[in-house]
Amino acid sequence: MARYAAFLRAVNLGSNRKASSEELAAAFQAAGLEDVATFQTSGNVVFEAPGRTAEAKLVEAIERGLAEELGFEVPVFLRGADRAREIAAKRPFPARAVDASKGKVQVALLASAPPAAAKKRVMSLASERDRLTIDGAELYWLPSGGTQESTLDLRAIASAVGPSTVRTQGTIERLAAKYF
């Protein structure tokens, strides 16, 4: 059995996209997944998958199950246990920059690693106030004034790298510590 974390996009953010922990777990179990646990209420689900199932097939089955259970589409960003631990342990910015920031390190989980041209476009948006770095299929962002004060062009980033879902690195650290 392989262990994974599924990060769901736009769940429990608005009145029309609500999902209880029980509904999320039921959708994953209906997709044939085991040892399902939800973490916080922002759409983080940990589970085990039998054998060596391809990640793309898992994402497809989970998205289909969520749509059937919830009545709306939910994009899923999957990370294996090893990668989740790596994301949790990574220190993408100098400690002095993190300490000086009012914001928290944000991790945008992407569907796949962006090509070089997309990385270049994203990195051209970085500044001292909004530090960015990309590692594989994760975009790390340190907003010095917090996300609400940031002037970072998030639409331009989405245009360059495609859909994503964002968690604080602290959330991923806590998830990895508890389940992996």
Kindly report, residue by residue over 9-32, the tens digit of the pLDDT.
Answer: 988 877 778 899 999 999 999 999
CA distance 47 to 87: 18
Give the pLDDT band (50/70/90) at residue 77.
very high
Question: What confidence tens digit (pLDDT) does each residue in 132-179 have?
Answer: 999 999 999 999 988 999 999 999 999 999 999 999 999 999 999 999
pTM for this prediction: 0.94
Look at the block and give the residue holding tokens 């907003």.
143
The pLDDT of residue 99 is: 95
Dihedral-angle region of residue 175 (phi above 0 means left; psi in -120 to 50 means alpha; beta otherwise): alpha
pLDDT tens digit sequence for 42-70? 899 999 998 778 899 999 999 999 999 99
In angstroms, rounded to a whole number, what is the distance separating the alpha carbons of residues 34 and 179?
14
